[in-house]
A = this chain, B = another copy of it.
Amino acid sequence: MPPLDLLADTLGPQGLLREAGDVAPYAVDWRGVYRGRPEAVLRPASTAEVASALRLCADLGLTVVPAGGRTSLCGAAVPTEQGPPSVVLSLERMNRIRALDPLDLSLVAEAGCTVESVQMVAEAAGRFFPLHFGAQGSAMIGGALSTNAGGIRTLRYGNARDLVLGLEVVLPDGRVLDDLRRVRKDNSGYALRHLFMGAEGTLGVITAASLKLFPPLLKRETALVAVRSPHEALRLLARCQASGAELVAFELIGRPCIEITLKHALNVRKPMELSTPWFCLVEAGSTHPSIPVREALEAALMVALEAGEAEDVILCESEDQRRNLWDIREGFPACSRQEAPGLPTDTAVPVSAIPDFLDRCAALIAERYPEGKMVAIGHMGDGNIHLSLQAPPGTTHADWARRGTGFEERVGEIAVELGGSFSAEHGIGQSKRAAMAGLKDPVALSVMRAIKDTLDPAGRMNPGKVLPPG
């Protein structure tokens, strides 16, 4: 039987797409930047079917690209353009919540549940699942864990891996690694689950996860603060951290980001006069009405104003006002793409090095790319700034990408020089393999390769991702 017929036989009619029109959506990432040519799409509906599919692919020597919501910004979930013949393994039909225990503050979700659906299930049970990022309506748990997604609330709750109690993983040879425990302490050998989180499907396929829940945030207080410099933003962060108001988010937003969003987004309003170059979007939360979070945040902001370390402050009076601030923040990436081509980056530095990082990036742009404009926005509380080099009006994407050759790598280098990382929360995928080759510790790279060769000796799992060509 031809290979695809064998797979069809194993997975049933809903489990295999092979018509060109059905396969096409899985061949390209959502921004249309990465495009491959999968032979078919496997859509298993259970862990047992994932195991059968991977066993069969191993027998047939087929290359497998695991995919969830396919919202990766680095092309992790589509086959590479020049890669070997491959199938996409979509987890979309594995979308059950297998268990929910409010008392244990835990939930077991299959890989194909969207991040947002997990948030909603937790909320309905009076609990809170804190993972939160722009693509959460499409992004699926399996992908969010495979890439160790970050986002807005890591300041308080950590990255995706920090929210995991246990994993179920199907290995490249079809064996099932069952570590789906719901306990908070488990020291029975090597922490294998952490190997699969951040591996972007190159070591196996995450099929389900036991996730931590938290008490719900009953109150949120949100403020926008106009500051003159990243130094002032840093001082404000320290004041807020010491205020007793538990910070849930602390975003740094450059003025151009707000201007661009006000220009392109529907339904957002100018929140204040944009008289300073930088703004901080601060959110604090509390899990109980007795905690005076508004008073604490307000006091910190007043002290900053009086000390001349902030130019202007809005402390939201309504959910509508709060929503407007977050719409501006979260609307920026899409609006930015409407405004002009950009060269985005995703780095992290120690929080105290952010002013230095921004100064050095500004100097780099002034020296080498003077026609470009620096736009910076990001999760300041984690040191994770998304800095982009925006093209002058009228430049095409292709021209700007050529002009900006080396920009992303150089920004990554600056981050590494400051003790940081050239890849903070988006992962490596296809787009940062060159940076991996140039900036990652060679010993770490060699250990990664050894582990890859051990778990996937034939190199069939998501080839051309994460590890640099070697």
- Shortest CB–CB separation between residue A126 and chain B, in angstroms? 9
Interface presence of A463 (CB below 8 A): no
The residue in chain B whose Cβ has the minimal distance to the Cβ of A290 is: B244
Among A163-186, those with CB < 8 Å from B are 171, 175-179, 181-186
- Shortest CB–CB separation between residue A30 and chain B, in angstroms? 19
Which of B106, B440, B455 touches A189 (beta carbons < 8 Å)?
Answer: B440
B419 touches A190 (CB 8 A): no
A290 touches B296 (CB 8 A): yes
A412-428, CB under 8 A of B: which get 1 and which 0? 00000001111111111
A104 touches B350 (CB 8 A): yes
A348 touches B186 (CB 8 A): yes
Cα A348 to Cα B165 with chains together (Å)? 12
B383 touches A184 (CB 8 A): yes
A451 touches B190 (CB 8 A): yes
Interface presence of A187 (CB below 8 A): yes
Cα A215 to Cα B243 with chains together (Å)? 10
Interface presence of A150 (CB below 8 A): yes
Give the most central of A171, A383, A443: most B CB within 10 Å. Answer: A443
A185 touches B350 (CB 8 A): no
B423 touches A177 (CB 8 A): no
Contacts of A445 in B (CB 8 A): 189
- Shortest CB–CB separation between residue A98 and chain B, in angstroms? 12
The residue in chain B whose Cβ has the minimal distance to the Cβ of A452 is: B190
Interface presence of A195 (CB below 8 A): yes
Contacts of A290 in B (CB 8 A): 244, 292, 295-296
Given A291-B292, A424-B185, is A455 in contact with B466 using a C-beta cutoff of 8 Å? Answer: no
A187 touches B352 (CB 8 A): no
A238 touches B103 (CB 8 A): yes
A190 touches B195 (CB 8 A): yes
B448 touches A154 (CB 8 A): no
Contacts of A103 in B (CB 8 A): 234, 238, 351-352
Interface presence of A194 (CB below 8 A): yes
Report, as a range, how many residues of chain A touch the other chain: 35 or more
Interface presence of A470 (CB below 8 A): no
A195 touches B189 (CB 8 A): no
A436 touches B467 (CB 8 A): no
Cα A426 to Cα B184 with chains together (Å)? 13
A154 touches B189 (CB 8 A): no
- Shortest CB–CB separation between residue A450 and chain B, in angstroms? 5
- Shortest CB–CB separation between residue A244 and chain B, in angstroms? 2
Which of B181, B187, B287, B289 touches A198 (beta carbons < 8 Å)?
Answer: B187
Contacts of A420 in B (CB 8 A): 181, 183, 186
- Shortest CB–CB separation between residue A50 and chain B, in angstroms? 14
A287 touches B244 (CB 8 A): yes
Cα A423 to Cα B426 with chains together (Å)? 34
The residue in chain B whose Cβ has the minimal distance to the Cβ of A427 is: B187
Cα A186 to Cα B444 with chains together (Å)? 13
A244 touches B349 (CB 8 A): no
Interface presence of A86 (CB below 8 A): no
Contacts of A203 in B (CB 8 A): 190
Cα A292 to Cα B288 with chains together (Å)? 11
Given A286-B244, A351-B103, A450-B454, is A436 in contact with B189 using a C-beta cutoff of 8 Å? Answer: yes
Given A104-B351, A244-B290: 7 more A-B contacts, CB < 8 Å: A179-B444, A183-B420, A184-B348, A185-B384, A185-B421, A215-B242, A450-B454
**Which residues of A approach B to under 8 Å, CB–CB?**
101, 103-106, 147-148, 150, 154-155, 158-159, 161-162, 171, 175-179, 181-192, 194-195, 197-199, 203, 215, 234, 238, 241-244, 286-292, 295-296, 348-352, 379, 382-384, 419-428, 432, 435-436, 439-441, 443-448, 450-451, 453-455, 466-467
